[in-house]
Structure 1
Amino acid sequence: MASKTETDLQAVKDYLDASMAPDPVRAASYVSPEFKCRFTGNREFDTPSGPTTFNAARYKWVKKRIERYDVVPGTDETIIYSLGYLYGEWPDGTPFDNNRYVDRFVVRDGLILNTDVWNDSAEWILDPSCART
């Protein structure tokens, strides 16, 4: 039988897999009814389709190369960080890679309560010379 922490981590992995498909309907099966996502630029969404729609306007396509998960077990909730790099294409078809990201999840009983998302995309859009491919 999986531990609470293992169950919570698997929920995050499955959510990210669905989000990158992108399949916001499947991603929604891993979030609680109280779900909140604070996305880059302090944009707030209450369903996984919010970030998916935002990403569709920002990128031609985007994926995550997950480097690691940092897990902080708690009594009631587990905090999980996903760290790695975004890669894909900007709307004009220009490829990008090595775009740092950090996602922070709060998970309880195998359901994601909230997530915070940070990455370098806005900086790279403002100053393309910052981007490394």
Structure 2
Amino acid sequence: MSRGALYGVMDGTVFSLDAATGRTRWTSSTKIASAVSDLVVCAGIVFAGIPASDTAIPGEISGGVFGWDAATGELVWQCRHSAGSSVSDRAWQLMTGGDMIFAAHYASRYADLLAFKIG
């Protein structure tokens, strides 16, 4: 929840609800190919870590950290993750601190740790 809004993902669509009324504020036209991490909000952007999918259809996003404008639902930020030539279905872990977002992706015995300054 952030500034009176709730954010979620259902059936591959990111959405926002008004926390007071439960009414839909926006839904994103971006389609997500697979399950996402917990959503986090940082600097007005709703972030999700999305595992790579070898079954994605054209137009679906997967394999990285993506961000939607918290007010409009527009996809405004992405950092695609390439785990070599193999598809990795491992989950992302996201955390925020101030104007930073931290992302961890576990593949094999190693973890990719990323940090981004937002804004």
The two structures have a TM-score, normalised by structure 2, of 0.40
Structure with the higher fraction of residues in strand conformation: 2
The two structures have a TM-score, normalised by structure 1, of 0.37
Give the structure, 1 or 2, with the largest relative contact order (CA under 8 Å, sep 6 or more). 1
Structure with the higher fraction of residues in helix conformation: 1
Greater C-alpha radius of gyration: 1
